[in-house]
Structure 1
């Protein structure tokens, strides 16, 4: 599962379902810097942790935590972006590029789709970012990339602007998919796979 060019510098805890799987929880445990998106901070604090920064308008945060942690709450009321994007932009402004996002799925499906699709925007902005869910990891990509995997491990390719899509080390051939579902549920045949493409796409690697 390659394609990060450096150690994770920060973790964004979004306001979806709190992670339960080992890998996203480990990301939080090992994080050198944690940014919570508004109400996502409530559960993080309830579990005995203190974020480095809380970002959002504060509306989803409990009144108690809004008061107690007001000194680390950055109120950003820009309605043109969501809290996850505000958190990523904040980290980029701090010079932190290698970012993991957890807690971005679950609850409202429209928020889940929005949070996933925004990974492409973050890549365009210069972030090396991944979203870890309870089932797998989303990785935004541009051009050709190779990933490590296990034989039989499931992989999905979600096309955004890519053309000339070809895969090596996958069970099913790729094409220039026009709908997200068309590239789902592929499988690795060995211990690595390569995607060749011109343009942008998302990889989802099932744990």
Structure 2
């Protein structure tokens, strides 16, 4: 459901919302997301991928410096939500304007490394906005307070901290119990699942990277409400 802008929220839904960016994205990714959501939002130039697939975005959010006049003309004016400030990315502008149990985002990984790093930063900074980034081979999300997943033994489970983080795990080949994870210290890449995995984190700041095949399980975990949710950052 697209709302009038209140308290910064433009799009609100009790079901997952799809978010499309202008980075690397193909028709398979577009269809994968659209098959799992009812509401589709574009971050600026991400509208092109949606329109090319035959779907007009329910909302377009961004500074509108990358959407072409051709695509913009195909979108009703009441679905366009320009945010002109230049201190944040279009992904940031869109994600902070969406309220949903989980956002499934495509078109934000691949291509430029600086764009990917900015997307990871946004995931952690907007800690109260659960979001799954869809990559070519992985899915990436900001770890909630707790999550349980029935993974296949041998699946890669990478944990990368963007802040100082501690926590506990069950079902990982190398437990994170008693570890202090830090971006300039101990990280948790290339761990492996023994089967079902439970991860508990003491605070926000940990990126979780799983095989793309785990997408539906991750979405269901967020939708279940059993993961808990980090509060919005002050300021």
- TM-score (structure 2 length as normaliser): 0.73
Q: Hey, what's the Cα distance between the residues in 2 that align with 1:99 and 1:132? A: 10
Q: Measured at CA, do residues 169 and 120 of structure 1 come closer, stay the same or move farther in structure 2, by a change above 3 Å?
A: same
Whether the 8 Å CA contact 1:19–1:133 is kept in 2: the answer is no
Structure 1 residues 74, 144: CA separation in 2 closer, same or farther (over 3 Å shift)?
A: closer
Post-superposition CA distance 1:59-84 (Å, at most 9, x none): 21122112232512221111122111
Match of 2:74 in 1: 68
- Report the number of matched residues: 195
Give CA deviations for 1:79-134 in whole Å, capped at 9, x if unaligned. Answer: 12211121122223xxx3432111111121111111122112222xx323222222
In the alignment, which residue of structure 1 is the partner of 2:209?
Answer: 204
SS state of the match for residue 118, structure 2?
helix
Q: Which residue of 2 aligns with 1:59?
A: 65
In structure 2, which of residues 14, 26, 47 is the aligned counterpart of residue 41 of structure 1? Answer: 47
**1:103 corresponds to 2:107:** yes
Partner residue of 1:88 out of 95, 103, 107: 95
Distance 1:161 1:176, change over 3 A: same
SS at 1:119 equivalent: helix
Q: 1:79 aligns to what? A: 86
Equivalence for 1:186:
191
Contact preservation (8 Å) 2:168, 2:199? yes
Change (3 A) 1:163 1:55: closer
2:142 counterpart (124, 140, 143): 140
Task: State TM-score, norm by structure 1.
Answer: 0.82
Q: RMSD of the alignment, in Å?
A: 2.4
In 2, Cα distance between equivalents of 1:11 and 1:59: 21
**CA deviation map 1:153-203 (0-9, x unaligned):** 11101123354333221112332222378311111012x112233212121
- The equivalent of 1:9 in structure 2 is 16
Alpha-carbon shift at residue 142 of structure 1 (Å): 4.1
- Secondary structure at the aligned position of 1:30 is classed as coil
User: Which structure 1 residue ranges, 5 or more long, are not aligned?
Assistant: 1-5
CA contact (8 A) 1:130 1:139 kept: yes
Question: Any residues of structure 2 matched to 1:153-168 within 5 Å, and which?
Answer: 153-168=155-170
Structure 2 segments unaligned to the other structure (5+ residues)? 1-12, 213-235
The 8 Å contact of residues 14 and 101 in structure 2, kept in 1 or not, is answered as: no
Deviation at 1:32, TM superposition (A): 0.9
> Is 2:32 aligned against 1:30?
no
